Amino acid sequence: MRIVKLTQKERENILENLLKRSPNQYSKFETTVRDILDKVKAEGDQALFAYTEQFDGVKITEETFRVTEEEIAEAYEKVDSHLIEIIRKALVNIRDYHQKQVRYSWFDSKPDGTLLGQKVTALERVGVYVPGGKAVYPSSVLMNIVPAKVAGVERIVMTTPPGKDGKVYPITLVAAKEAGVDEIYKVGGAQAIGALAYGTESIKKVDKIVGPGNIFVALAKKAVYGHVSIDSIAGP
């Protein structure tokens, strides 16, 4: 672990710079994000394809947009069996933890006929955003999909940006399959959040969006909040 030692003056300077941050410093990003969301809402899949080519340098079509079972099977062949066992062990631990948090419906009838209670109903569809780029995030897959499965979510949709070869990292696909995801789409950024929030020809809108991302993803989640539920605004 790298330990950084600062003088009192250096600490004061860092704190001062943090306090100087203005909410308006992200305004230029918010304008870009809003434009992307509006285009996805208006043009659907075609906007997703265009932005994926523009930002990720990958040309996708209706035929290659959704990850197939063949691609998942191929991913299993590329991931070391020991790593798959680690993923499965992590799944057991994460599932065990979240099962202890499950809320249950209950009802209580009083002598005067009054009925009190709580009905707990799982969401129908949840969208999970998994970052891509140069790093691999199987932990984001597990920590977001497993709680949704434990809660009883009917359908879980995952979006993640494709690599330059037009494919998703094998370890990401294996983690998603093991966790129980239902659909995986090769799209990232604010455009993916727009697709999950508003729906397109291929992606049906979800009830809630979870998962971390860069500043564009974070601001997109902030923008669609209210139209759809989100977990939090994680990231820079």
Instruction: Please provide residue 157's backbone torsions phi and psi, each rounded to the nearest 5 degrees.
Output: -115, 130
Average model confidence (pLDDT) across the chain: 93
- H-helix or E-strand containing 47? helix 45-56
| Domain-located, residue 70 | yes
CB within 8 Å of 188: residues ≥ 6 apart: 52, 55, 56, 129, 131, 132, 159, 160, 161, 162, 213, 217
Interhelix angle for 189-198 vs 215-224, to 10°?
20
Q: What amino acid is encoded at 85 in this protein?
A: E
Going by C-alpha positions, the residue among 219, 147, 145, 156 that lies closest to residue 185 is 156
Domain CATH code at residue 81? 3.40.50.1980
pLDDT greater than 80 at residue 220 = yes
Query: Per residue in 163-211, pLDDT tens?
Result: 999 999 999 999 999 999 999 999 999 999 999 999 999 999 999 999 9
Q: Does 9 reside within a domain?
A: no
Q: pLDDT confidence of 14, banded at 50, 70, 90? A: confident
The pTM of the full predicted model, rounded to 2 decimals, is: 0.88
pLDDT at residue number 54 = 96
In-domain check, residue 216:
yes
What's the confidence (pLDDT) of residue 166? 93
Indicate whether 15 belongs to any domain: no
CA neighbours within 13 Å on the CB side: how many for 24?
Answer: 1
Mean pLDDT along residues 82-86: 97
User: What pLDDT sits at residue 7?
Assistant: 82
- Residue 20 has a pLDDT of 73
Asked if the structure places residue 137 within a domain, the reply is: yes
Closest CA to 229 of 204, 180, 196, 186: 196
Residue 212 lies in a domain: yes
Q: Which domain holds residue 193?
A: 27-230
Q: Can you point out the beta strands (E) in the chain? A: 106-109, 115-118, 125-129, 155-160, 183-186, 208-210, 229-230
Q: How many domains does the chain have?
A: 1
pLDDT at 6: 75
What CA–CA distance (Å, rounded) separates 214 from 209? 15
Q: Check residue 22 and give its pLDDT.
A: 65
Report residue 74's pLDDT band, with 50, 70 and 90 as the boundaries: very high
Report, as an integer, the average pLDDT of 2-10: 78
Domain presence at residue 176: yes
